Every structure is written in structure tokens, then in C-alpha cells.
Structure 1
Amino acid sequence: MRVLAACALLVIAAPLVLVAQGRPGQPALVLPGEADLPEGGIQTRHLQAQVVGESRVGPDGTGSITLAVTPSPRMHIYAHDAEGYTAFRLEFESRPDLVGGSHAYPASEISVFAPTGETSNVYTRPFRVTRGFTVKGRLRDQVRTSADGVPITLLVRYQACDDRVCYRAEQRSLTVRLRPR
């Protein structure tokens, strides 16, 4: 009986292992819409986002982070000023020594969702969002003395639709390293 169970497991698992490892010349298994990006980046089936440049902190503890976002083809992301949906937001993971500052968002576009005729403020083309911040206390000291930068976590919140379906709101995190200016 154990031999039969082991054989059944091999028959079921072997194709999965082959797919997960990929074939020569083909990428390994990646979940639909997901991809590995360098630190400071995310990719989903709705969008790709990457931190632009290095995140530098000045002597006064202030800095800014810019995120370049590219919606996937035929996809729109609800803009920062959209109502009734989860608007695009770039936030910092909550911590007492990091205070988020102002956002700089591009102007949104008006989109008409054909199935319902509803209009919304959206982004359909690549855009950039800049978020200011201030580091204090221990984090500020760590940034000043770190050779490799100090990792912090950014949160990207958004909701997207294609030309037929509106998807659930998403939240993804990405890591960036703060370095002294």
C-alpha cells in the first residue's frame, strides 16, 4: 500500500516539479501576473512599479521617494483622486521614527467604464508618484552611519480594472534602502 501511495505521489508531483523548475531556455514557474524584480520593485497582473534612483536622506532627516508605475495593457488604476474605489496610494509601513510627508501625484484622466457608463479618475499610462518623508531618532542615526543603507517598507495600495472587470483592491509591499545624502 505504501509503494502504491508513493508511486501515486510521484506521478502527481513529477510534472509540478518540472514546471516549477522550468525547461531549458524557459523561465521557472511564476504565479500569474507575479514576477521577481530587483529591490524596490513589484509586478502584478495589473501593474509594474519600481523606485526611481536612490532614496537619500538629508542632514535634516528629510527625503523623498519616487515610484514609477506602469499599468498593464488595457488596465487602468484608480487615481489618487478617484471616489468610490481604492485610490492609488504610496504609504510607509507604520513606525514611530518615520513620518510620511506630502504626495506629488500626476493629473488623472477621466475614464468611462463601458459596461456601466460610469466615469472615474484613473491612470492608464505610466506615471510617477513622489512621497516626502522625515526620519527621526534611531532611524536617522542608522541612516547616517550605514554603509549599505537602512531598509524600510513601502506599501502600494490600488484598485485596477480592465475593459471588462474591476478587480479587488490590492496592497503590496516593497523594500527600499535609505542612504545619507
Structure 2
Amino acid sequence: MAAITYDTPELLAEFANRKGIRYPLLGDSDSAMIRAFGILNDNFPPDHEWYGVPFPGTYVVNEHGVVTAKFFEEDHRERYNTSAVLVKELGIGPGGRIAEVETRHLTLRYSASDEIVRPGNRVTLVVEIGLKQKMHVYAPGVQGYKAIEWRVKTSPGWLFHDLSLPDSKMLTLPAIGETVPVYEGRFRMTRDITFGQGGAVRPFLQPDETLRVEDSIYYQACDDRVCYLPQTVPVHWIFRYAEHDRERSPEPLRRRPRASPPKPPAAP
């Protein structure tokens, strides 16, 4: 993993030492690499202090240097967290707190790609379900049965994105002559959540500066003989909230705006 910015190596070294960053920060002070990727933010004129900054985003490349995925947001204040990208692209399990709930039909484990969130962060919520022997749950699109649902509790402090589900399998039920989409064994559901800016989030902070996000998982399970009553399993995530680092680097390291080109002489 590496980050590329339009800042100088000296400024990046100061920032990395101050924040304890251990992955490479690459200084592209003339924005040559930024231009090569086609992501130069041309909304700023050449004499603006932010001229040369890229549209923020994340690229995933393979061992041959080929881009396999990219993540960009329309609002520059919103960013995919690196951990969320790893969960999406590589299936890497979140490294933080994992909670577990067991019911008669399944074991449900839930976690998040990140435990610390800042304004505009886009985080991936993960729910992993392990069905017990001979059990299945219904996938979206089933007719006449209750499909599994991830029911969100909306809030002005954050935005839920679309649910991501794996492909289901078709199961034939000889006793009733039906073929239906189901999940069996183990499967994973994910849903992204983007936290709002500070003013939108602060009203929901707990006294210990944490945020609590509450949802529920609704499902109907069946085995080879019986379809059971639908169940609702409450789930929740606790995030530590932190503001962005707004400390300025020392004056000698700060970027200087380019001088405006001289104006042509006025016509006589």
C-alpha cells in the first residue's frame, strides 16, 4: 500500500512522523503522476494554493501493475477507508471486534472494516452467516417465502449504501415441486456506511465519544422437512469517533501557490 500526494517529500516525512504512518507516502510535487492517471483536479487555477491536487480516490493494482479496481467518490470530503477496500476486493476479514449471535438455525458473526471513523469515512459492515446442518435461508427474489433482509435503522448522521450479497443457488424441493433461490452453508453479506460531516454526526455521539449503529437481520430458515417462523436478529456496531488532523505543517514546509503568469501588455 502507498499514498501519492502533490506534497513534497519533506512535508510528507514530517506528517508521517507526527501521525506514526508506516506505509510509503510518495511526493508528486509537480503532479506528473497525478496527470498521468488523469485525476488532476482542474477546478483550481494555476495560482491557487491547491493547484495540482488530485481528485481523491483509491486504485487496486495486481502484481503486474495493472489496475483491477478503483474507488472514487463524487464528494471530495467522502473517502473509502483502505480497510473497506481490502474487505471488498480481497475478502480480507476485518481485524477488529467481532460479535457473535447463535440462533436455532444459524450462527451470525458481524464486524466492521474499521473501528475508528472520521467525518466522511466510508466503512464496510460485514455480516457472516453459518447455517446449521440441513438448514437454508431464502435469497432475494423468492416467491411465497420470506427472503433474508438486512434492515437498516436510518439516521441523519450517516448514509447506508446498497446491500451486497453473494450469488444464491437454486434448490429443488421435491415434496412440493418447487425450485427456489437459497443460501446454504456459509455466506457473507456486506453493506457500506458513509459517516456525515462533523455537524451531522455530533448529535449522535455517546458520552464516551463513540457512535452506535443499530440494524437487524431478518430471515426465514427451513430444513429438509420444516419451514420455521421468520426471525429477527438485532445487530449493532460501536465506532470510536475522531476528527481529522487539521494541524498545519511547519511554515518552511508548506506548499506555496504558483505565481500568476504575467498579463500581456494592454493594446495601445
Uncovered stretches (5+) of structure 2, i.e. residues with no partner: 1-96, 243-268
Bigger Cα displacement from structure 2, 137-146 vs 148-157:
137-146
What corresponds to 2:104 in structure 1? 45
> Counterpart of 1:7?
none
CA distance in 2 between counterparts of 1:158 and 1:43 reads 13
Q: Please report the TM-score for the alignment, with normalisation by the length of structure 1.
A: 0.67
- Note if 1:175 corresponds to 2:250: no
Please point out which of 46, 55, 78 is paired with 2:138: 78
Q: Which amino acid aligns with 2:171?
A: S
Q: Distance between the aligned counterparts of 1:148 and 1:120, measured in 2?
A: 46
Q: Are 1:65 and 2:125 an aligned pair?
A: yes
Q: Note if contact 2:112-2:124 (Cα within 8 Å) is conserved in structure 1.
A: no
Which is greater in Rg? 2
Provide the C-alpha distance between the structure 1 equivalents of 2:156 and 2:119, rounded to a whole number of angstroms: 19
Aligned pair 1:151/2:212, yes or no? yes
Q: Structure 1 residue 108 and structure 2 residue 168: aligned?
A: yes
TM-score, length-normalised on structure 2?
A: 0.47
Aligned letter for 2:239? L
Q: 1:154 to 1:145 in 2, by over 3 A?
A: closer
User: What are structure 1's unaligned runs of at least 5 residues?
Assistant: 1-37
Give the whole-Å Cα distance in 1 for the aligned partners of 2:236 and 2:149.
16
Higher relative contact order (Cα pairs below 8 Å, separated by 6+ residues):
1
Identical amino acids, percent of aligned pairs:
26
Distance 1:67 1:162 in 2: 22
Distance 2:200 2:240 in 1: 11
1-side partners of 2:107 and 2:157: how far apart? Answer: 29
What residue identity is the alignment partner of 1:99? L
Match of 1:123 among 174, 183, 186: 183
Task: State the Cα distance separating 1:170 from its structure 2 match.
Answer: 1.3
What per-residue deviation string (whole Å, max 9, x for no partner) do you get for residues 112-135 of structure 1? 123212111000120000011223
**1:168 aligns to what SS in structure 2?**
coil
**1:117 counterpart letter in structure 2:** G
Structure-1 separation of matches of 2:156 and 2:108:
26
**2:211 counterpart letter in structure 1:** V
More strand by share: 1
Superposition RMSD on alpha carbons, in Å? Answer: 2.9
Q: Give 1:143 shift.
A: 8.2
Pick the aligned partner of 1:99 from 137, 159, 172.
Answer: 159
Does 2:223 correspond to 1:162?
yes
Aligned length: 144
CA deviation vs aligned residue, 1:120-164 (integer Å, no higher than 9, x gap)? 100012000001122336663378998674222120011110000
Q: 1:101 to 1:162 in 2, by over 3 A?
A: same
Please give the secondary structure, in 2, of the residue aligned with 1:42. Answer: strand
Decide which moves more: 127-136 or 70-79: 127-136
